[in-house]
Structure 1
Amino acid sequence: MFRNDYSEGACPAILEELTRTNFMRTRGYGDDPFCSRAQDLIRAHIGNDAADVHFFVGGTQTNLTALSAFLRPHEGIISPDTGHIQLHETGAIEATGHAIITVANHDGKLAADQIAPIIKNHMPIHMTKPRLVYISNSTEYGTVYTKEELYAISQVCKQHNLLLYLDGARLGVALTCDSNDLTIADICNCVDAFYFGGTKNGALFGEALVILNENLKSDFQYFIKQRGALLAKGRLLGIQFATLFSDNLFYDLAYHANATAKRLSESIVDLNFKLLTPTQTNQIFVIVSTAQYQKLLSMPEFDFEVWEPHPDGLVIRFVTSWATPDENIDRLLAALAQIQTI
């Protein structure tokens, strides 16, 4: 428990709908009424009937397909050095021939004023041409972009003819956290494409890519098929997203993940542990000594990530999910209380 937010299977509502529709026969590859309904629900939710909506199994697959399709061979991507495409996708983007141009992150975020220097330092013809800015919300550190930050990034992108792409693997928790001041309308006003992450927010699997820029829509399904991402049983994705975007379920699940993380984070601070960065969403980064880490590691009921080294020992990450029960929070806090003075 607490290693990630996709350890559980799926929320009951999705499993019930998959069971209810199990023996219905439909056409394949997303050409079915379930996918059509999910696409309509997402378009209605974002208030854009012209948006293209495509379903994928996972986040890396989504990023790989979209970013390689949006770029010409000589074009590259500006990303925070902690971006998922940079650290956790096994060079998938680079394998398609596109360079990732990194900038130093600020609590996982990229700042608008970091973009122009990269454009200025670009040597035409001889260097990869920056064409797209990649950001995540929430970030790899669980932080969120403010409205002011996102609009500033968008403005710089427009000034320099750059595309702006938002990785939304954890968009649900970003939009439901206490410190968020963004709306989905703000995101649609600022970015060229983004996705709603289902894998980390109650689905068995799945991400819903939303393409807003008209120039990026043409022939996109060919790219999906070419990348092996066009699921024959596409209805399985449609059913899940139609369920998530009915009755506010997508946000209700994310809210639970944030609420349990807030309780856990505040209690961890009360136990005199230090955090690497303030907790905004469902990821909590705790600084522990080597001895504390070893003791916690000996407790097999708890699972967590070692995030990075720290002068005081290590940073470990706890993640809550849509399904985290209060009793699991209580058990972890009791364990942390035991190691507090080690």
Structure 2
Amino acid sequence: MPSTSLCQDEACPPYSLMDDYSEGAHPQILEALLRTNSTQQVSYGNDEYSDVARRLIRQRIDCAEDEADIFFVPSGTSANLISIASCLRPYEAVITVDSGHIACKEAGAIEATGHKLILVPAVDGKMTTTNLQKAIQQNQFFPHMAKPRLLYLSNASETGTVYTKRELSSLSALCKQLNLVLLMDGARIGTAMCSKKNDMTLHDIFEYTDIFWIGGTKAGALMGEAIVVKKAIAEGFVFHLKQHGALLAKGRIMGVQFMELFKENLFFTLATHANNMAEKISGNFEELGYQLAAETETNQVFITMPQKLAQRLQDRFRFYIWDQLDDGQVVVRIVTSWATDELQVDKFNAWVREWTSATKEFAT
């Protein structure tokens, strides 16, 4: 039998590698919230901190105030829902890859607004121009079919992959040709921008999309996302925030957090740490001969492993079983965060190495 010398201390709680929001917020953000707590501010996002945050984000994007409006909302689902609802007529539809967050993880929020989702097969988690063109061709029987009007992308994708500048520019050009609005979900845009595979700036993303948003919840904030809307389609956007319950009286809470994330380099520093921890885990698996189910480009690791190893690891770590395979193997998803403890990563890797070595010794 494989060795059982790995730690069995019941007092040691499982360490979460399940998501990038298990922790609260970066101490610097908490300190900023405390420091500004007693000041009186105008409500509903008109406070001085939100104004500063908008200015800092525009500086990072390299755009002027008359080019884009920025709105803060509390969650990713509200960011997607409001962005889409603001653009579409009742008979218009959204095109998304079949693994898209709005298709799989938002409880039908978009469909609940009356908009059909047109699902397209993903390629490495991403949309391609070929698949987009095919989806348009298959949904042209008007007025009997919902009219495709908006393309939804995630960067990073649901499998942690990132769009290249060439990929996004090609999709953007096709959207203009087809009269489609292009929306980018940026829940993990920080890790996407800090990926070694990334060749885009935030200005590139602004240029190629009509709406995109910058995720704070998964980037060290307590909560909050910043929606960047081009002026051409921003009129009336705030009414959608209000109607969907996302225009917070204490909008300052989000303003302070984004001000802190962007006043220096904290947003990108934290994202880089998350990516480095994922790379360390992924590299260990590859060195040991395990097969990656998706290339590790950001802070998500998808790995195929024996179910027994997954069960063993779950004694000390929490992560998703992403897929059950037919041969006693499973695909697991491991997610690192801005706060992932490198010592815990080292322990995780040591457990994998010891189990793998013991299993090979037993097999021989």
Match of 1:69 in 2: 86
Q: Is 1:23 aligned with 2:48?
A: no
Give a deviation string over 1:115-162, Cα, whole Å, max 9, x none. 222222221111000000000000000000111110110011000000
Deviation at 1:302, TM superposition (A): 0.6
Note the 1:94-243 alignment, pairs <5 A.
94-121=111-138, 122-214=140-232, 216-243=233-260
1:193–1:213 CA contact under 8 A, matched in 2: no
Instruction: Give the AA of the match of 1:20.
Output: R
The structure with more radius of gyration:
2
Q: Secondary structure at the match of 1:279?
A: coil
Tell me, in whole angstroms, the C-alpha distance in 1 between the residues paired with 2:325 and 2:256.
44
Match of 1:289 in 2: 306
Tell me, in whole angstroms, the C-alpha distance in 1 between the residues paired with 2:252 and 2:94.
32
Give a deviation string over 1:251-285, Cα, whole Å, max 9, x none. 11111111111111101211222110110000001
Q: Is 1:329 aligned with 2:358?
A: no
Q: Secondary structure at the match of 2:18?
A: coil
Match of 2:18 in 1: 3
2:69–2:231 CA contact under 8 A, matched in 1: no
2:63–2:203 CA contact under 8 A, matched in 1: no
Deviation at 1:296, TM superposition (A): 2.2
Q: Secondary structure at the match of 2:217?
A: coil
Q: Which moved more, 1:308-317 or 1:167-176?
A: 308-317
Match of 1:90 in 2: 107
Gaps of 5+ in 1: none
Deviation at 1:309, TM superposition (A): 2.5
Match of 2:277 in 1: 260
Give a deviation string over 1:53-81, Cα, whole Å, max 9, x none. 00011100110111111111000000000
Tell me, in whole angstroms, the C-alpha distance in 1 between the residues paired with 2:54 and 2:182.
22
Q: Is 1:250 aligned with 2:304?
A: no
Tell me, in whole angstroms, the C-alpha distance in 2 between the residues paired with 1:130 and 1:190.
19
Tell me, in whole angstroms, the C-alpha distance in 2 between the residues paired with 1:96 and 1:308.
30
Tell me, in whole angstroms, the C-alpha distance in 2 between the residues paired with 1:219 and 1:9.
33
TM-score (norm 2): 0.91
Tell me, in whole angstroms, the C-alpha distance in 1 between the residues paired with 2:294 and 2:133.
27
Cα RMSD (Å): 1.2
Tell me, in whole angstroms, the C-alpha distance in 2 between the residues paired with 1:2 and 1:131.
37
Tell me, in whole angstroms, the C-alpha distance in 2 between the residues paired with 1:315 and 1:263.
18
Deviation at 1:86, TM superposition (A): 0.2
1:133–1:165 CA contact under 8 A, matched in 2: yes
Instruction: Give the AA of the match of 2:20.
Output: D
Give a deviation string over 1:154-198, Cα, whole Å, max 9, x none. 011000000100000000000111111111121111100000100
Match of 2:63 in 1: 48
Deviation at 1:223, TM superposition (A): 0.6
Of residues 310, 313, 317 in structure 1, which corresponds to 2:325?
310
Tell me, in whole angstroms, the C-alpha distance in 2 between the residues paired with 1:92 and 1:326.
36
1:192–1:213 CA contact under 8 A, matched in 2: no
Deviation at 1:311, TM superposition (A): 4.2
Tell me, in whole angstroms, the C-alpha distance in 1 between the residues paired with 2:87 and 2:267.
28
Q: Is 1:60 aligned with 2:77?
A: yes
Note the 1:266-281 alignment, pairs <5 A.
266-281=283-298
Tell me, in whole angstroms, the C-alpha distance in 2 between the residues paired with 1:198 and 1:292.
33
1:296–1:339 CA contact under 8 A, matched in 2: no
2:320–2:333 CA contact under 8 A, matched in 1: yes
